[in-house]
Structures are given as structure tokens and as C-alpha cells.
Structure 1
């Protein structure tokens, strides 16, 4: 992916959110990630990265850019590799220490762990019949962004600022989108707003009631 092309789109569109998916497999873009994120922040964008494990290089390109990442999502295996911490709570703490404003680590049917401000949250997964896990992470991010925009709208241009209820609402919507995704073959076959909101109606209260919170430090 040509980083200059991405910079050009940023300049012309000035989006509320700059989302970088598949970072780690984007060649020259990965090498210039820091420059692209600097431009995004200068334009007032909220930055959201969701990487894929790189095959021919390490994670250094991402670690160096961490202070410019507002929201970071990855799975538990990626989190362990990036931080060197096998214990999940330690991994999200380390992501926060690197400079990420909000770190979210997914664990499939075991739920997620998120670090935001001074707290670490553990959220259980929604219960569904899984058929194909492909695309679940992307669906999570899409649901997360959708709910974030619903709640904050244009104020995202200023800063990411969520109270606890808003944070949990955003995380739950993302989780529900990821859960719906795995119920059919393919990356987008089952992802549908109605299905996501039906799942939230059926299980959302139970999931939220089991969220655990601890101090980050």
C-alpha cells in the first residue's frame, strides 16, 4: 500500500476516524506508519489500528508508533508477541505503557480484555454457534466504530473521551458484531445490524453484568 496515496486521502477527506486494518502486511505503508499517523493526528483524526502478524519482519514498526494510536485492537496471540507478555492483563498494561490510549485484546469465545485510562476491563463473550471464525476481528472493529460514532459523533475530532457506561456499550457492540460474524461461512455473510442488535437484546445485559474491572496500576 502506497503511504503517499493514503496521505493524500487523509488530506482530502479529513475523516473523524483513521482506521488501519491489516497493518503488518501492507509493505511500504508499514514502514511509513509513523509518518501517516502523525499526519492523521495533525488533521484531528482519531487513530484506530488493527494489525495482522507480519511474516517477514518484527513488530518494531508498530511499537514505535504506539504513542500516536488512540485505539488498538488485536488478538491475544498478537498481544503476547508485541509486548513479550504471555499473561493477558500484563499484555494490555504493556500496550498502554507503550502509549496506546485504549488497548483492546480479543480472545474469541473467551471474550476480551481492554485497558482504558486507569482501568482494565474483562468482558465475557456472547454465546453463539460458531461456523467460521474468519473476519470476526474485522467485524468487531466495524461494530466498535459504528457504536463509537453513534455515541460521540463529531466530537471524535476533539478526543476520545468515554465514561464507563459508554466504553462498555462500545465494547459490547463490537463483541456482538464479531459473534454474529462467526455464525455463517465467509467474512461478511452474517454481519447485519439487525442481527447484531437482536443478539445484544438477547444477551447484552447478561454479558455486561459479568464484566470485571481492576485498576491498571
Structure 2
């Protein structure tokens, strides 16, 4: 089974309020409240653990906030790196009809020493687990001394030297930089983010595939693109696989992309390919078909839940592979956002 190490550079305390509706500028009442440690990498790790995959979740946590870990599901998968500062707080309001409002706090900056220790702790986990994947997910905090975002070059290079593939799930300028750096194997943009990476709108499935291949020419191995109502597509140098799944209802979209990525990672390298690759000293062959259908299924399950915590895969909708038609017009065109 794929062994995965996740790093969440900016973990978060998630507070989710369930309300009948939200009226801006007025007092609103919640009928239910959930609070737990979260963050994109942690969400991926918890979902993989539920599916019985070996996984380790590295979390830099403020020294005053470690008490929060006692109420975190699956604490056995956590690898904690105490750092200065306090954990950020994200607030989500989910209305009965499914509309979601998010207020997310900015990431807490790192000292040079703290970031060095986070990198070393993460690489120790990659080595100890003989990991197939290192996945860095979420916001990229800035460094206190420079004001610049964290530099992932050393982490990525050393993880790949250890035989792991590198996956990146982020957005904005950081995605634009690392998505074209040749230092990562996988990125997970949505359609608008992919359009932003190539600098023009995308109207058809063929244009999405061409955009993915443009990034692959820079050294990327696979572009895993979520297409909203059109499902998702996995693009490699010589394959394009398209799939979708229908959620029974949409309650909360927060965390759906993390469940989608977890499902993909759970199947993208078969146990046989992983073993053969390790024995031969080569990266194992990817299997995007089974991976993409699992990812779509878990993603559709996630949006039908009130929080980012999946407790069972029993009700996961079945995903279907779709014939790739380059002329297919996207239901929602992809626009450049940055």
C-alpha cells in the first residue's frame, strides 16, 4: 500500500457552525458547532488512515496550542513540531441549504530555526516510512526574517532523493511558482487555477488537457485537475483519464478536495508496482484510472458531510470513467484568477 507523509505548513483550528441561514450584519444562531484541528495535509492523512494506508501527518503547532491535539481524531498519525506563535483559526458557517461561508485566518510566520526543524522532521518521516509520496498541502506561511514565503526547494529535493514522489496542493502565486518549477511530481489545481497557470481561459476538455501537458513539459509528472460539475481529469505525458461522481446532496464543500486527493493517492501506485520500483531503484508506474475514480468517489462523499471528518466510506457514491472527448465544452469555463 502507498505510504504517504503529509506536511501542513499552516495547520488550523477549524470551527464549523451549522445554521438555518446566515444574515450578514445580524445576530445568527447555530444549532450545532464542531471544533477540531484541521488543515489540508491533515485532512488527507486522516482520510488515508481511515482507509488503512500507512500515513504520517507532520504538523507545526504553536507551543501554547498543543492541548488541542488531545481532541484531534487519530492522534497516532500525528508528528508534532513545536513552533513559536499560536495556531490560526478558520471559521465556517454552513447553512441548511448548503451555502458555505468561510473566514480564514492568515498563516503564522516561521522563524528560520522553526522552519529548518519542520523540514528535518518531515524528511525523517519520509525516510522512516520509506514513503511513496510526500504531500505538502495548504497555505505557505512567510518567514519572519525575510517576509518571503517558505522555501520548499531543499525539502522537495531531499524527499525525491529518498525515493518519494512529491505532491503539492496549494493556490495563488505559490502554485504558479512550484507548478512550473520541475521540482514536484503532482499538482492538484482546479480549472481556474489551471487557467491561471497557463495564462488563458479554458473552454473545452481538450484545452484543459493541452494546458496540463504544457505544465508537464516543465517537469511535472501528473496534473490532477478538478472540474467542478464536470468531475475531474488526470493528465500525464501520454494519458488523460476523465471521471465523475454525483454526491447525494451538497452540505459542505470544505475539505472535498482533500478527500479527492487522498482517494487518488490511495490507488495511484499499486502495491506490486511499489514493491517492484523499490527493488529496481526506480519510481513505480502510476495507475491513474483506479486512482481517479476513487478520488472522485471520496470527494463526492465529502461534500455530503457537515464537516471535513469522514468516518466511513460505506456511503461513498460510485464514480464512473468517461470517454475523453477533447471537443466537450466545459459546463463552467475556466478563467484566469491571478
Give TM-score, length-normalised by structure 1: 0.78
Match for residue 62 of structure 1 among 153, 163, 178: 178
Aligned match of 2:268? 148
For residue 42 of structure 1, what is the aligned residue in structure 2? 161
* SS of structure 2 residue aligned to 1:122: strand
1:131 is aligned, of 228, 251, 270, to: 251
Shift of residue 137, structure 1, vs aligned partner: 0.5
8 Å contact kept, 2:167–2:186: yes
Equivalent residue of 1:179, what SS? helix
| TM-score, with structure 2 as normaliser | 0.52
Distance in 1, Cα, partners of 2:162 & 2:149: 20
Q: Determine which structure has the larger helix proportion and give its number.
A: 1
Matched, 1:170 2:291: yes
- CA shift, 1:42, in A, is 1.1
Alpha-carbon distance in structure 2 between the residues aligned to 1:107 and 1:192: 25
Question: How far does residue 86 in structure 1 lie from its aligned partner after superposition?
Answer: 1.9
Superimposed CA distance per residue, residues 169-192 of structure 1 (whole angstroms, 9 cap, x where no aligned partner): 01110111110000022222x453
Judge conservation of contact 1:20–1:48 (CA < 8 Å) in 2: yes
Q: How many residue pairs were aligned?
A: 197
Q: Give the aligned partner of residue 20 of structure 1.
A: 136
Displacement of 1:71 in angstroms is: 1.7
* Structure 1 unmatched ranges of 5 or more: none
Q: Which moved more, 1:126-135 or 1:147-156?
A: 147-156
- Cα RMSD of the aligned pairs, angstroms, is 2.6
Please name the residue that 1:51 is paired with. 170
2: distance between equivalents of 1:84 and 1:160?
32
The structure that is strand-richer by fraction is 2
Using the alignment, how far apart are the partners of 2:315 and 2:234 within structure 1?
24
1:117-172 residue CA offsets vs partner (Å, 9 max, x unmatched): 3122332343432111111111111111222355444556531413xxx3210111
Q: Deviations over 1:94-129 (max 9, x none)?
A: 221221101111022221122113122332343432
Structure 2's unaligned 5+ residue stretches are: 1-8, 10-113, 203-207, 327-338
Corresponding residue SS for 1:7 = helix
